[in-house]
Amino acid sequence: MSTAPADLAAARAALLPWYHAHRRDLPWRRTRDPYAIWISEAMLQQTRVETVIPYFERFLGQFPDVATLATADIEDVYAAWAGLGYYSRARNLHAAAGAIVARFGGRVPDDPEALRSLPGIGRYTAGAIASIAFDRPEPILDGNVERVLARYVGLREDARSPSGSATLWAAAETLARGPEPGALNQALMELGATVCTPRAPGCLVCPLFPGCRARRDGDPEALPVKAPRAKPRAARAVAALVQRRARVLAVRRPPGGLLGGLWELPGGDLAAGEPAADALRRALRERTGLEVDGLVPAGTVEHVFTHRRLRLELFRCTVASGRVRLHELAAHRWVSPSDLAGLAQGALTKKALARVLDAAAPGARAASARATR
């Protein structure tokens, strides 16, 4: 399907004055610094604006420019990011900052192709930086913009399909051409966040009301069309608070992949039919080289990833013999429980640590005195 250029021209003419009159006062909108805009766009991916604001301000206070971020210890970057989730974003920021220093003299490039060559920067983020910071007529298409444009042009196919995505990108490209491309792109994002919402969109106050096909058809909430997601598959794993005198063992995942570079309790996957205690002893032996003793069950936690629903069975135990020899892990530390809580970790580890420490409280310890040996 296609949208007449006149329709998009009308949309553009309506969006800019609406945005200048109604935009929210957000800290990253008070600057044209491409570094600050880049940081904000990375943080805003899959995270609410009100959550991002204090993180954005603290992050820029600690890492005010590309060079500072590039030379920072990745642990400090993770610590500044702690609580935002999706830590691959922080890892990519750090790696991209190093690349900007090495390849572009420490200046964020204004060329979209150069931006897309950096870790973690795809077409959307490159378009946002290029248009907002450098006035380049580059399009953007995130979830909010996808919804606005799918409704405006009346897209009745899957918005994430190749042809559906191409239709929306083409509309975004047309809209970006003209004065104030950065403001235009931010207007689309703002409209999707505050007016053209997934449920109960405010059609009567929308600047695109006259030309919106979904409004005209009377079913804006039906768009965008999205293919149903597959249900997460069930999986089980084991982990333990491994104690050696007053300290506990923390292990760090390798940089790539799910939860890459984050700290967690040692453990591993649970094979079908394998008793949890046996699986834990095996996983600790294979991944850390340690033999453990005195296994005490410490409860379970569940966490849903995009494609997997994980049930993690927890234990407390002590080191019986061996020294740490890591396999498939990046690093380890023996730390106090409070220091372990302060390491960069994902939501699953936070839940697991809270559960296992709660199970170790005096009342709970007495109730779980039966050790699995």
What pLDDT is attached to residue 159?
A: 97
| Dihedrals phi, psi of 188, to nearest 5 degrees | -60, -45
Q: Are residues 308 and 199 in the same domain?
A: no
Please tell me the predicted confidence (pLDDT) of residue 365.
42
pTM over 0.85? The answer is yes
Does a structural domain hold residue 373?
A: no
What pLDDT score does 161 carry? 96
Q: What is the pLDDT of residues 139-173, one digit of tens each?
A: 999 999 999 999 999 999 999 999 999 999 999 99
271 lies in which domain range? 233-367
Question: Kind and range of the H or E element at 315?
Answer: strand 308-321
Catalytic residue from among 41, 146, 190, 264: 41
Tell whether 161 and 269 lie within a shared domain.
no
Give pLDDT, residue 259: 83
Share of the chain above pLDDT 70, in %: 95
- Its sign, for the CA torsion 120, 347, 256, 334, is positive
Same domain, 48 and 175: yes
Same domain, 209 and 249: no
CATH number at residue 80: 1.10.340.30
- Domain end residue (candidates: 171, 195, 222): 222
Whether 372 is covered by a domain: the verdict is no
- Whether 170 maps to a domain, the answer reads yes
- Same domain for 277 and 175: no
- The count of structural domains within the chain is 2
Residue 19, token pair as written in the block: 């945005």
Assess if residue 227 is contained within a domain: no
One domain, residues 148 and 271 = no
- Kindly give the residue spans of alpha helices, DSSP state H, lying in the chain: 5-22, 34-44, 49-62, 66-71, 74-81, 88-104, 112-116, 123-134, 143-153, 162-176, 181-194, 213-217, 276-288, 337-342, 347-359, 362-367
Beta bridge partners of 235: 310
Residue 15 pLDDT more than 70?
A: yes
Residue 339, domain member (yes or no): yes
Q: In this predicted model, what pLDDT tens digit does every residue of 289-343 receive, in sequence order?
A: 999 999 999 999 999 987 899 999 999 999 999 999 999 999 999 999 999 988 8
Q: What is the pLDDT of residues 118-147, one digit of tens each?
A: 999 999 999 999 999 999 999 999 999 999
The pLDDT of residue 364 is above 60: no
- Of 169, 200, 222, which residue sits at a domain end? 222
- Picking from 222, 256, 276, the residue at the C-terminal end of a domain is 222
3-class secondary structure, 24: coil
Q: What is the CATH number of the domain that holds 335?
A: 3.90.79.10
Contact 301, 312 (CB under 8 A): yes
The answer on pLDDT for 35 being more than 90 is yes
13, 160: one domain: yes
- The greatest distance separating any two alpha carbons of the chain, rounded to the nearest whole angstrom, comes to 75
Residue 361: what pLDDT?
66
Q: pLDDT tens digits for 204-236?
A: 999 999 999 999 999 999 999 999 888 889 999
Is 41 labeled as catalytic in the residue annotation? yes
On whether residue 89 sits in a domain, the answer given is: yes
